[in-house]
Amino acid sequence: MNAAQLLNGVALGSLLMVLSSGLAMIYGLRGVANFAHGALYMAGAYIAYSVSDRAGFWLALLVVPLALAVLGVVLELAFFRPLQHRSHIELGLITFGLALMAERLVVLIWGESTLRVNPPEFLQGTTSFVGIEYPSYRLAIIVIAVLLAAALIVWLRSTSIGLHIRAASQDIETAAIMGINVDRVSLVVVAVGAALAGLAGALAAPYIALDPGMGNAFLITVLIVVVVGGIGSIAGAMIAGMGLGIIQTVTTVWSPSLAVVVPYAALTIVLLWRPTGLAGKRVS
């Protein structure tokens, strides 16, 4: 049974990984903790609900990231770019306002009641995996998340836009001086970050129930993951996300009420021990 509990942790960690890698990309480049990330995730889940209702879950997995990427473009063009000279905190608070609005808009469109999305037919029920009967859909989430993480890393490491993103995340001013088109890089990053949030929402839809509080529930955890992972480090966020998912699940098995405090304790300990996060660049 312990292997099954470990899988539970990995499944939750996978979700956190996808969600926080998007947030970490935006945070790294724009220096802004995007408080609207939870709202983007929620929007992804609700759009997935509407799409899979009509055209099936697989199409939702395709449509949702695209729709959210468009939202990301809007976010970048309407707020991040014109206000890039403002302090990071101000921009963060603007996304806070956006999150408040987005949450309410989701309710106005989809209503208040709890909704659920069924996984595709062949992923319903359980699969035998290393001797355990484990839900097929959770295994699918793990596989998708790992593939996605690998793809993201390959993209960042071996393409020229990936190189530019990494350079700009290190030092946006120097990158601009070196002739990197920071505006373009930033547009791509925010769009991809939002798309990842949406994808996480779509993946989460059949996993957990949809309700208007779902964004908030994850937002704080994911912000914590990104800060713990280290500002600007996508790999750090992924590792921290997976780690937190596993630790939290293991703690839940042991003491559910203590597990609630785990993310906060983790953040406090890590920031006191290493103020820049586990893999953070030096901020001088």
Q: What part of residues 258-277 is at the interface with another protein (CB under 8 A)?
A: 259-261, 263-265, 267-268, 271-272, 275
Q: What is the DSSP string of 140-207?
A: HHHHHHHHHHHHHHHHHHHSHHHHHHHHHHH-HHHHHHTT--HHHHHHHHHHHHHHHHHHHHHHHTTT
Check binding of 56 to another protein (CB under 8 A): no
Nearest distance from C-beta of residue 8 to another protein, angstroms: 4
CA angle 135, 139, 141 (to 5 degrees): 115
Which one, 152 or 252, has the nearer CB to another protein?
A: 252
How many CB atoms sit inside 10 A of residue 138's CB? 23
Question: 22, 72, 198, 212: which one contacts another protein (CB under 8 A)?
Answer: 212
Nearest distance from C-beta of residue 284 to another protein, angstroms: 10
Which one, 49 or 196, has the nearer CB to another protein?
A: 49
Check binding of 77 to another protein (CB under 8 A): no
- The strand pairing partners of 129, in sequence order, are 132
Nearest distance from C-beta of residue 185 to another protein, angstroms: 16
Binding mask 100-119 for another protein (x = CB under 8 A): xxxxxx-xxx-xxxxxx-xx
- Alpha carbon of 250 to those of 135, 146, 150, 246: distances in Å? 18, 20, 25, 6
CA angle 256, 1, 4 (to 5 degrees): 75
Given the structure tokens 């956006």, which residue do they identify? Answer: 98
CA of residue 33 relative to chain centroid, distance: 12
Check binding of 90 to another protein (CB under 8 A): yes
CA angle 201, 229, 156 (to 5 degrees): 70
Nearest distance from C-beta of residue 165 to another protein, angstroms: 18
Q: Distance between CA 267 and CA 263 in Å, rounded?
A: 6
Question: 70, 73, 93, 235: which one contacts another protein (CB under 8 A)?
Answer: 93
Question: 135, 215, 229, 230: which one contacts another protein (CB under 8 A)?
Answer: 135
Nearest distance from C-beta of residue 62 to another protein, angstroms: 19
What is the DSSP-derived secondary structure letter of residue 284?
A: -
Provide the token pair at 170. 């290190």
Find all residues with CB under 8 Å of 1, minimum gap 6, and list them.
132
Question: 92, 193, 229, 230: which one contacts another protein (CB under 8 A)?
Answer: 92
Binding mask 27-46 for another protein (x = CB under 8 A): ----x-x-------------
Map the footprint of another protein across residues 137-176, applying CB under 8 A. 137-138, 172-173
Nearest distance from C-beta of residue 184 to another protein, angstroms: 19
Which one, 152 or 210, has the nearer CB to another protein?
A: 210
